Amino acid sequence: MIKNYFKIALRTLWKSKGYAAINVVGLSVAFCVCVFLFLTAYRQLTFDNFHEDSDRIFQLYFVTNNAEKTDRSAATSLPLVPALQAEFSDEAAATTRIWSGTKSLVTYREKSLDRMVVGVDSGFLDVFTFPLIKGSREESLRGLNAMIITESMARSVFGDAEPIGKQLQVGGGKDQRNYQITGVCRDVPDNSSIQFDALIRIESTGSYHAMKDNWDAYSGASYLKLAPRIEEQSFENKLRSFAKKYYASNIDKLKSQGAKPDEQGDIFAIRLQNMADVHFGKEISNGKSTPIAVVYAIVGIGLFILLIACINFINLNMARSFTRMREVGVRKSVGATKKQLFVQIWGESVLLCFAGFVGGILLAFQLISLFNATFGARIDLSDIIQMQKGFILLMLGVFLLVTFIAGGYPALKMAGFNPVMVLKGKLSLKRPGGLRNSLIVTQFAISCLLICCTVVAVQQLRFLRQLPLGFQKEQVISIPIGNRADGRQVLQRMRNRLADDPSIVSVTGSGVNLGKGKDKVTSRVSLGFTYKEKEVSTDWLLVDYDYLKTLGIKLLGGREFDPAFPTYSTNRVIITESMAKQIGEADPVGKYFETDTSGSRYQIIGLVPDFYLYSVTQERKPITMHLSHSEAINYVFVRVSDQSLSGAMNKLEKIWREVAPEAEFMASFLDENIDAWFQNEEQLTQIFVMASGITILLSCLGLFAVALLVIEQRTKEIGIRKVMGATVASVVMLLSKDFLKLVLIALLIAMPLAWFGMQKWLDNYTSRIEINAWIFASVGVAALVIAWLTVSYQSIKAALMNPVKSLRSE
């Protein structure tokens, strides 16, 4: 019996190749996109879930309720964790600090590599799950010169040789230090918020001893794992008395400045953020977090596309059912039961859905590289095999649900046809059809919603790109120095080599890059201190001579650092307008301030406009630029003349080989680096564009099917109207107006949702556009035109049909 059903299904589908092809293509595209989007969301939602007892792992962060606003910071002071461990030894099962900076130079004999070396406490492996394949978890970080490296680093440095017991040198020059390999761990997963190539004790890092007892110096991150019986809220309550004990001076300063307690009664508090929330920055964000709303949007888009594909499948099956009414009537008249007809017709739908599902998977295999390249994703279809059973069951559930809903409903309707009415030619579906119209409205509401979101996202991205950055990014080349060369020596050699070159406008150096260069390194130094009883926080930016000239930053007052007076430039700073506003000085030039950390006294010699240093999606922070003759220069900036732009990169590469032969040349144009600031917005916009294009295409396909259904129902009516003198235009308008009404209803549903959703999304930006009504008006007109063009093809075809044939069609 099943074999017979299968043969008949194949023959039936072969006779309707066009119908089958449309269904299979539509479902394949929907399944392919859903696989991509669901895998992307799955990877984001499973960040850091590989740690054992991850529900008990927390990151500590500070909440400071200033008089003007509330600040949350994940940067904590170094004495915090030892004090916590001493006072809460029963509640805190394990603790660790993480001191992570830029990549370090790692040397073994004649081999040198740039690797991420992170300072941690001995309890790091008690908090986090990074399995060791060699060495002991309890002993590997016991010694101050101990080092744990990853599998890939072990292969890069030692090849197939045994790494345990070997010596590695980290750093260069006088800062170089020897470490002994005591353990090898598995490579850090991509979906980990903590990344490293090697682990050393935090006490071995260069700045530790200068800051280990300073409660006011915030740097690094702190984590703890609570004991099984301890609740998060109860431990946070205990941290209140701890904060009052060790941060009493901070609280007193805040009170004197007019700070008010929050709803929990805290002016300054230590709070906990679960490890599952770190990647999404729900409580605190360091600028690298992924908003959870974006992940939900990706899942929602995937479900929308799948829903539209299901609606199309139902509509196409219902449209096709009218061509099979006589077949169903004959089958029922010769004894076929309703159950047998349902199984037969539903079996055809199962075959189509299965073909679409397989086609979607094959399409995904073909397009996976393009998807990863376009959206900067790291998904791999082979990971499906290694994933948890839940994801595979989810995909199978989606397939079965689509098959049951999209194929089962039309099969049930067709199996229930009255055979007598069918054979007499008197059976017709009710018009206009509440379910059919609801499906059309749903399709176009989703499509219009995504189109509106796409237009708003594109406008916001364009707005961000056009924002004045506060510096001139054009014609500037950024060159990372790396760890193999001395930055100050390289900068001076570059200046000497380019001093007489007319194509070079200026050369400077800095401690941090602007945007993200080819070294993929982003570092940030912040400094807090008290100025006239006011708490001040500023980005502490190391620069060199001609920094303002190279980046085209104009002085509002004072002067720039002058190389003619090198000693006069030390302990002098240039600040931005927001920094001047924060310290409450309308004319800050000439004023002095003293930092709490080093006790050094600095004089303000210049004032510049605010400029974006790390991101345009956040407000511009106060910046203090300082000059140093000892701190490391990590980047060289070169401004070239516009006439020499084309050959500048080749020229600089040649000179680089002379001044820094040991360092890799990784130069890039500054405007390319700045593009990395828009990566999240670019990806979201591309997803919206892709999704809106697919949904409108699938919606039009469904509308085309429904138009075919309606016109087949009204064939005689059209013939009679033409005989009575109706024109082609009137017939087309008659057939189109009902569909246009449905599209209007869809617009009325979609536009308020789009406005509300995008307003919430735009609230994440300090600089944002205002949503204009013309966006919705243009989307509405476009949707109506697209719908009319989709319907008009079948309408015009029906209106031009010979009325004699129409009246004889039954």
**3-state secondary structure string, 40-79?**
HHHHHHCCCCCCCCHHHEEEEEEEEECCCCEEEECCCECC
Whether residues 405 and 507 fall in one domain: no
Whether residues 61 and 199 fall in one domain: yes
Is residue 619 a part of any domain in this protein?
yes
Which H, E and C letters describe 237-293, residue by residue? HHHHHHHHHHCHHHHHHHHHCCCCCCCCCCCEEEEEEEHHHHCCCCCCCCCCCCCHH
pLDDT surpasses 60 at 387: no
Q: Tell me which of 411, 427, 443 is where a domain ends.
A: 427
Question: Distance between CA atoms of 635 and 478, rounded to whole angstroms?
Answer: 7
Question: Distance between CA atoms of 323 and 344, rounded to whole angstroms?
Answer: 16
Whether residues 203 and 299 fall in one domain: no
Least confident piece of the model among 330-334, 680-684, 727-731: 330-334
Burial of 50 (0-12, 13-18, 19+ CB in 10 A): middle
**What mean pLDDT do residues 136-150 have?**
91
| DSSP state letter for 579 | H
pLDDT surpasses 90 at 526: no
Least confident piece of the model among 316-320, 369-373, 730-734: 316-320
Is residue 531 a part of any domain in this protein?
yes
Question: Distance between CA atoms of 98 and 553, rounded to whole angstroms?
Answer: 36
Asked if 648 and 588 count as a contact pair (C-beta separation under 8 A), the reply is no
Burial of 801 (0-12, 13-18, 19+ CB in 10 A): middle
Whether residues 634 and 602 fall in one domain: yes
Of 488, 485, 608, nearest to 551 (Cα)?
608
**What mean pLDDT do residues 132-156 have?**
91
Categorize the per-residue pLDDT at 99 as very low, low, confident or very high, splitting at 50, 70 and 90.
confident
- What's the full length of the chain, in residues? 810
Q: Which residues touch 667 (CB under 8 Å, ≥6 apart)? A: 477, 478, 479, 518, 649, 652, 653, 656
The predicted pLDDT at position 212 comes to 83
**pLDDT tens digits for range 19-58:** 777 778 888 888 888 888 888 888 888 888 889 988 999 9
**What mean pLDDT do residues 502-515 have?**
90
Whether residues 416 and 495 fall in one domain: no
Q: Tell me which of 406, 427, 448 is where a domain ends.
A: 427
Does 6 or 43 have the greater pLDDT score?
43
| DSSP state letter for 165 | T
Question: Distance between CA atoms of 640 and 647, rounded to whole angstroms?
Answer: 10
Does 805 or 760 have the greater pLDDT score?
760
572-576 and 601-608 as β-strands: parallel, antiparallel, unpaired?
Answer: parallel
The predicted pLDDT at position 598 comes to 58
Q: Which residues touch 300 (CB under 8 Å, ≥6 apart)? A: none
Asked if 733 and 718 count as a contact pair (C-beta separation under 8 A), the reply is no
Whether residues 210 and 82 fall in one domain: yes
Query: Rounded to the nearest 10 degrees, how much is the dihedral formed by the CA atoms of 432, 437, 439, 442?
Result: 180
Which tokens belong to 670?
Answer: 């500054």
Of 472, 482, 483, 478, nearest to 514 (Cα)?
478
Does 423 or 330 have the greater pLDDT score?
330
Distance between alpha carbon 362 and the CA centroid of its chain, in Å?
A: 26
Categorize the per-residue pLDDT at 562 as very low, low, confident or very high, splitting at 50, 70 and 90.
confident
Of 739, 718, 709, 738, nearest to 801 (Cα)?
718
Whether residues 114 and 245 fall in one domain: yes
**730 three-state secondary structure:** helix
**pLDDT tens digits for range 473-491:** 999 999 998 877 888 899 9
Domain count for the chain: 3
For residue 303, count other CB atoms closer than 10 A to its CB: 15
pLDDT surpasses 90 at 738: no
The predicted pLDDT at position 567 comes to 63
Whether residues 188 and 233 fall in one domain: yes
Helix (H) or strand (E) holding 540: strand 534-543
Asked if 329 and 423 count as a contact pair (C-beta separation under 8 A), the reply is yes
Does 646 or 693 have the greater pLDDT score?
693
Question: Distance between CA atoms of 132 and 615, rounded to whole angstroms?
Answer: 37
Whole-number percent of the chain with pLDDT over 90: 24
For residue 167, what are the β-bridge partners? 180
Whether residues 95 and 231 fall in one domain: yes
Is residue 19 a part of any domain in this protein?
yes
The predicted pLDDT at position 430 comes to 47
The predicted pLDDT at position 179 comes to 93
Whether residues 363 and 493 fall in one domain: no
Is residue 713 a part of any domain in this protein?
no
The predicted pLDDT at position 510 comes to 93
Which tokens belong to 631?
Answer: 């701190």
Asked if 260 and 267 count as a contact pair (C-beta separation under 8 A), the reply is yes
The predicted pLDDT at position 226 comes to 94
Asked if 415 and 345 count as a contact pair (C-beta separation under 8 A), the reply is yes
Residue 258: which region, alpha, beta or left (left: phi > 0; alpha: psi -120 to 50)?
A: left
For residue 183, what are the β-bridge partners? 148
Whether residues 103 and 223 fall in one domain: yes
Whether residues 71 and 37 fall in one domain: no
The predicted pLDDT at position 520 comes to 76
Categorize the per-residue pLDDT at 568 as very low, low, confident or very high, splitting at 50, 70 and 90.
low
Backbone angles phi, psi at 538, to 5 degrees: -145, 150
Does 644 or 559 have the greater pLDDT score?
559
Asked if 694 and 305 count as a contact pair (C-beta separation under 8 A), the reply is yes
Is residue 147 a part of any domain in this protein?
yes
**pLDDT tens digits for range 172-199:** 767 788 999 999 999 998 889 899 999 9
Question: Distance between CA atoms of 411 and 348, rounded to whole angstroms?
Answer: 9
**754 three-state secondary structure:** helix
Burial of 35 (0-12, 13-18, 19+ CB in 10 A): buried
Q: Compute and round to an integer the Cα radius of gyration of the chain.
A: 34
Which tokens belong to 289?
Answer: 């977090």
Question: Distance between CA atoms of 558 and 574, rounded to whole angstroms?
Answer: 9
Asked if 442 and 309 count as a contact pair (C-beta separation under 8 A), the reply is no
Helix, strand and coil content of the chain, in percent to the nearest 5, comes to 50, 15, 30
Is residue 18 a part of any domain in this protein?
yes
Cis peptide before 131 (omega within 30 of 0): no
Is residue 267 a part of any domain in this protein?
yes
**What mean pLDDT do residues 599-625 have?**
87
Domain range enclosing 375:
1-47+290-427
Q: Which residues touch 42 (CB under 8 Å, ≥6 apart)? A: 387, 391
Tell me which amino acid residue 154 is.
Answer: A
The predicted pLDDT at position 289 comes to 62
**What mean pLDDT do residues 620-627 have?**
91
Which H, E and C letters describe 481-507, residue by residue? CCCCCCHHHHHHHHHHHHCCCCCEEEE
Alpha helices by DSSP H, 484-611: 487-498, 547-551, 566-569, 577-583
What mean pLDDT value characterizes the chain? 82
Which tokens belong to 151?
Answer: 């599998």
Highest mean pLDDT among 271-285, 422-436, 652-666, 718-732: 652-666
For residue 611, count other CB atoms closer than 10 A to its CB: 17
pTM of this prediction? 0.74
Q: Which residues touch 4 (CB under 8 Å, ≥6 apart)? A: none
Is residue 64 a part of any domain in this protein?
yes
Q: Tell me which of 619, 644, 678 is where a domain ends.
A: 678
Of 525, 567, 551, nearest to 636 (Cα)?
551
